[in-house]
């Protein structure tokens, strides 16, 4: 399977690595890493991007709004101001597919012009205007499952059958995308680990991740998520081993892209998995 991401083409013979580049002051793990005295520093962002690419990232997922539980929303203009300069700078300098982590139609359109190759929307293109903007961009998309919004998603999430309900949601969103003009092979699906789910829901989804592959290539994000904090009593800085274990199991069950903070460690883990498997 080969997919065009703007000017770049990738195959998915092996799982690909998506490095996280948050240009936010408040993300749960790396929030503020690209800020100096409260102001976004483009050089810091570029240096971080260069490191992730040198370590083996195939994608950089650039986000300007934190999606951690309870995060405050930012205005569409502020989000564009944070993300677009970084997209432009990375597109000019680095050989990597730029993914924009956004639900904002304005940013989707502008980022595509600036050199982005993928739209990663945790709200699954449901914000008014987002689906049309994604279609107009001509880029592949990732639709993710979430109940509610980042502000309220962890308030007692309930499912009768979490795997079936998340699959049904993603199948419906995929059909909506196809109906709007996005070709089926350009649509990634993501069960949205930690987005409106208890730990039991997350584990059930990970155990059954193989079932999602029939819907399309799967993007999986487990990196340093709070479920490991609750299950193991670990702070975000101590969650790398758990993240690698869950990510590898996700790949074993068919994930095509792993969204991670720790590119070098993930690359090594995937390499050994490939040599054995």
Q: Which residues are catalytic?
A: 225, 259
Nearest-approach distance from CB 275 to ligand 9MG, in angstroms:
27
Span from 6-14, 72-80, 188-196, 202-210 in contact with ligand 9MG (CB under 6 A): 188-196
Count Cα neighbours of 155 within 13 Å in the Cβ-side half-sphere. 6
Span from 73-81, 168-176, 189-197, 235-243 in contact with ligand 9MG (CB under 6 A): 189-197
User: Is the Cα torsion angle 115, 84, 61, 140 positive or negative in sign?
Assistant: negative
193 sits near ligand 9MG (criterion: CB under 6 A): yes
Whose Cβ is closer to ligand 9MG: residue 37's or residue 237's? 237
Nearest-approach distance from CB 165 to ligand 9MG, in angstroms:
17
177 sits near ligand 9MG (criterion: CB under 6 A): no
Number of residues that bind ligand 9MG (CB under 6 A): 13
Token pair 């930690």: residue: 194
Nearest-approach distance from CB 120 to ligand 9MG, in angstroms:
5
105 sits near ligand 9MG (criterion: CB under 6 A): no
190 sits near ligand 9MG (criterion: CB under 6 A): yes
**C-alpha–C-alpha distance, residues 198 and 248, integer Å:** 21
Whose Cβ is closer to ligand 9MG: residue 101's or residue 110's? 101
**C-alpha–C-alpha distance, residues 165 and 135, integer Å:** 26
Residue 177 and residue 151 in contact, taking contact as beta carbons nearer than 8 Å: no
Residue 108 and residue 89 in contact, taking contact as beta carbons nearer than 8 Å: no
Among 64, 221, 247, 250, binds ligand 9MG (CB under 6 A): 221
147 sits near ligand 9MG (criterion: CB under 6 A): no
Could you tell me the CA-to-CA distances from 217 to 46, 65, 170, 191, 229 in Å, in that order?
Answer: 29, 25, 12, 12, 28
154 sits near ligand 9MG (criterion: CB under 6 A): no
Span from 89-97, 131-139, 170-178, 187-195 in contact with ligand 9MG (CB under 6 A): 187-195
Token pair 């050199």: residue: 115
3-state secondary structure 175-203: HHHHHHCCCHHHEEEECCCCCCCCHHHHH
Count Cα neighbours of 148 within 13 Å in the Cβ-side half-sphere. 18
Positions touching ligand 9MG (CB under 6 A) are 63, 67, 101, 120, 122, 142, 144, 190, 192-193, 219, 221, 259
């Amino acid at each position: 399977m080969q997919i065009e991401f703007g000017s770049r083409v990738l195959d998915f013979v092996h799982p690909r690595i998506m490095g996280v580049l948050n240009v936010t002051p408040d993300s749960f793990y790396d929030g503020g890493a690209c800020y100096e005295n409260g102001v976004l520093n483009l050089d810091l962002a570029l240096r971080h991007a260069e490191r992730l690419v040198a370590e083996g990232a195939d994608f950089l997922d650039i986000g300007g709004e934190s999606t951690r539980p309870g995060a405050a929303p930012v205005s569409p203009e502020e989000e564009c101001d944070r993300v677009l300069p970084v997209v432009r700078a990375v597109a000019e300098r680095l050989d990597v597919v730029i993914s924009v982590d956004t639900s904002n139609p304005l940013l989707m359109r502008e980022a595509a012009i600036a050199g982005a190759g993928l739209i990663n929307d945790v709200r699954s293109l449901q914000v008014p205007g987002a689906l049309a903007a994604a279609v107009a961009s001509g880029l592949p998309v990732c639709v993710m499952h979430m109940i509610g919004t980042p502000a309220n998603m962890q308030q007692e999430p309930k499912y009768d059958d979490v795997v079936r309900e998340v699959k049904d949601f993603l199948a419906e969103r995929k059909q909506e995308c196809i109906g709007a003009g996005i070709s089926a092979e350009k649509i990634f699906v993501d069960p949205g680990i930690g987005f409106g789910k208890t730990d039991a829901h997350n584990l059930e989804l990970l155990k059954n991740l193989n079932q999602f592959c029939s819907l399309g290539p799967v993007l999986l994000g487990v990196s340093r998520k709070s479920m490991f904090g609750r299950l193991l009593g670990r702070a975000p800085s101590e969650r790398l081993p758990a993240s690698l274990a869950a990510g590898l199991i996700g790949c074993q069950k068919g994930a095509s892209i792993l969204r991670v903070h720790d590119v070098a460690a993930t690359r090594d883990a995937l390499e050994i998995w490939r040599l054995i498997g």
